[in-house]
Structure 1
Amino acid sequence: MKVVILAGGFGTRLSEYTKLVPKPMVEIGGKPILWHIMNHYARFGYKEFIIALGYKGEVIKNYFLQYYALNNDFTIRLSDGHINYINERPLDWDVSLVDTGSQSMTGGRILRLKELIGEEDFMVTYGDAVSDVNIKDLVDDYKKSGRLAMVTAVHPTARFGELQINNDRLVSEFKEKPQINQGWINGGFFVLSHKVFDYIHDDSTVFEQEPLENLARDGELKTHLHEGFWQCMDTARDRDYLNKLWHDGNAPWVL
């Protein structure tokens, strides 16, 4: 099953970094968040990726073009540029990089991949959120549902730290970015039938609007409830929080 990652947005709320690189290339622990997302899927055996590019897509293309050389040792013969790799650490991922338009909406990006995906089920997620969602359980849930689409529902994280205050107004507990126990939001990590393409019209289609609304109306959209960790990277504060989790050795998305 192919994994589509939407990586073409402008990332305006993270402009401190996205003036130079697209949002999926903003780093956590020295690796782009895009790499972290892909590595999560790969641990469950899903290693065929399609990256839907848009804003500064050439940065992502260059990253993967240079990936093998930058992540392996080699000897280069300067007389003719011949490279002999040594101590190789191959990564068995297949990555398709597809320009889906600088102005395309999320649905339009997915639609542009129709021929590449073919008549198969496929997965879709966003290039700016990490989670410890169990992909195997997600796919099993989708297959058992008999529906055309499944979306992972997650609890959002609070924007600010949560204080537990006792009767003496002393803080008994402080939680930085706790997950809210009530309410569910779209966390990405979709599993979709190829028939979902029929719900998407053109580049201007926002997947989270008419397509998902109509799938829900038709009784074809089911949720996979995820009670665990999920965190998007919308702001510099989010980026700093994820980096802190990584450097503290407490990154829940690393199973």
Structure 2
Amino acid sequence: MKDSRIKELTQHQETDWNVTLVDTGDFAFSGARIDRCKKYINDEDFMVTYSDSIANVDIKKLIEFHKKSKKIATITGVVPQFREFEFSVKKDLSVEIYETKKNTSDSSGRYTNGGFMVFKKEIFSYLSSFNECKLETEVFKHLIEDEQIAISPHSGFWRWLDTDRDYDYLNYLADKNDMPWLQE
């Protein structure tokens, strides 16, 4: 398999960033995709995000939170409209449980994965390159059992981009020049 990395996607002012786009296959779940990027990760913590959400997450604060937590994984937690799974969080912001979301009005201490994550290299001991490796189910479950996952609550702008409705709403905001994902 030939190396299909893009060396430079665009000009930017963040000279200390290292962004690598990797073709991880068409059928791999998220855990397998991250595992297949292992050879590009040095000994530092690294970040992962999904491509189907947009937010104004303060990345510096997220990384600081991750370092203070001393956990293998830090997930940005959001309280969005009803979706599938959510984290139940202890007072110290470590994760207690990850389960199907209950459609209730009380969301205190309950968060959905906001899709912005920071990992220590030790995450690779929880992952597999097999297509079936799902970060959001078995990997999170094992991290929770080992008390190695924390939630960094995000109360700013966050939105999925999963449906035509989401797409239309985000374009509506952009057309009005109201793009809260670009604001701190």
TM class by shorter-chain length? 0.7 to 0.9
C-alpha displacement of 1:95 = 4.1
Match of 1:47 in 2: none
Q: Residue 181 and residue 249 in structure 1: after superposition, are their counterparts in 2 closer, same or farther (change >3 A)? A: farther
Q: Residue 66 and residue 140 in structure 1: after superposition, are their counterparts in 2 closer, same or farther (change >3 A)? A: closer
C-alpha displacement of 1:157 = 3.0
Q: Does 1:251 align with 2:172?
A: no
Match of 1:241 in 2: 169
Aligned length: 153
Q: Residue 158 and residue 217 in structure 1: after superposition, are their counterparts in 2 closer, same or farther (change >3 A)? A: closer
Match of 1:205 in 2: 133
Match of 2:62 in 1: 138
Match of 1:106 in 2: 30
Q: Residue 211 and residue 158 in structure 1: after superposition, are their counterparts in 2 closer, same or farther (change >3 A)? A: closer
Q: Does 1:152 align with 2:73?
A: no
Q: Residue 185 and residue 133 in structure 1: after superposition, are their counterparts in 2 closer, same or farther (change >3 A)? A: same
SS of equivalent residue, structure 1 residue 188? strand
C-alpha displacement of 1:118 = 2.5
Q: Which portions of structure 1, spanning 4 or more consecutive aligned residues, are displaced by more than 2 angstroms?
A: 64-68, 90-97, 180-183
Q: Which whole-Å CA distance do the structure 2 matches of 1:189 and 1:102 have between them?
A: 22
Maintained 8 Å contact 1:119/1:194:
yes
Gaps of 5+ in 1: 1-57, 69-89, 160-179
Q: Does 1:227 align with 2:155?
A: yes
Q: Which whole-Å CA distance do the structure 2 matches of 1:123 and 1:117 have between them?
A: 10
Match of 1:192 in 2: 119
After TM superposition, the structure 1 = structure 2 runs for residues 159-174 of structure 1, keeping only pairs within 5 Å, are: none
Amino acid corresponding to residue 120 of structure 1 in structure 2: E
Match of 1:40 in 2: none
Amino acid corresponding to residue 184 of structure 1 in structure 2: Y
Match of 2:96 in 1: none
Q: Which has the higher strand share?
A: 1
Q: Give 1 or 2 for the bigger CA radius of gyration.
A: 1
Q: Which whole-Å CA distance do the structure 1 matches of 2:120 and 2:156 have between them?
A: 25
Q: Residue 150 and residue 65 in structure 1: after superposition, are their counterparts in 2 closer, same or farther (change >3 A)? A: closer
Q: Which whole-Å CA distance do the structure 2 matches of 1:121 and 1:149 have between them?
A: 10
Q: Residue 117 and residue 132 in structure 1: after superposition, are their counterparts in 2 closer, same or farther (change >3 A)? A: same
The Cα RMSD (Å) is 2.4
SS of equivalent residue, structure 1 residue 208? helix
Higher RCO (CA 8 Å, separation ≥ 6 residues): 2
TM-score by length of 1: 0.55
Match of 1:117 in 2: 41
Q: Deviations over 1:188-209 (max 9, x none)?
A: 1111000001001223201111
Q: Residue 124 and residue 242 in structure 1: after superposition, are their counterparts in 2 closer, same or farther (change >3 A)? A: same
TM-score by length of 2: 0.75
Q: Deviations over 1:230-251 (max 9, x none)?
A: 1011101100000111111221
